[in-house]
Amino acid sequence: MNIGQAAARSGLSAKMIRYYESIGLITPAGRGANGYRRYGSDDLHRLGFIKRARDLGFSLEEVGRLLTLWQDRQRASADVKALAAGHIVELNRKIAELVGLRDTLQELVDHCAGDDRPDCPILRGIETGCCTASTGAEPAPPAER
């Protein structure tokens, strides 16, 4: 099949497939007599693996390591588990960061009167950086009424 068909079947774009080839994540496809890339079932299987790993949030570097482990039938499952466990730690860090961002923004919204006055604690908080999730600083005080 050509790259368009491989893209449709794998759920990846043709551009992503070409990119994965360019960075060595997948072996460049063979070319047909017409010069077009040709993909087979093994290629599709590998592309599907990459897509699912990316959908789980693994970085390209981690996907490369997963592919190596996946192809190594002598590998220890402990190696795969360690990689996945490390990824969970990173996901939890990102979740905590997002929760902090949400909570900070919620504090700013809660302190905004949302009326016709120009004073805006949301903009003031963004301007001054007083309410960043990473610093744990207190939100801007509510506007005077």
Domain boundaries, the chain: 3-56, 77-128
Q: Give the pLDDT confidence score for residue 30 in this predicted structure.
A: 87
Task: Indicate if the pLDDT at residue 138 is higher than 60.
Answer: no
Task: For residues 72 and 32, give the distance between their C-alpha atoms in angstroms, rounded to a whole number.
Answer: 29
What mean pLDDT do residues 3-25 have?
95
- Contact between 58 and 87 (Cβ < 8 Å): yes
Q: What is the DSSP letter of 84?
A: H
- 3-56: what fold? Multidrug-efflux Transporter Regulator; Chain: A; Domain 2 (1.10.1660)
Q: Give the pLDDT confidence score for residue 106 in this predicted structure.
A: 94
What mean pLDDT do residues 19-40 have?
90
> What confidence tier does 78 reach under pLDDT thresholds 50, 70, 90?
very high
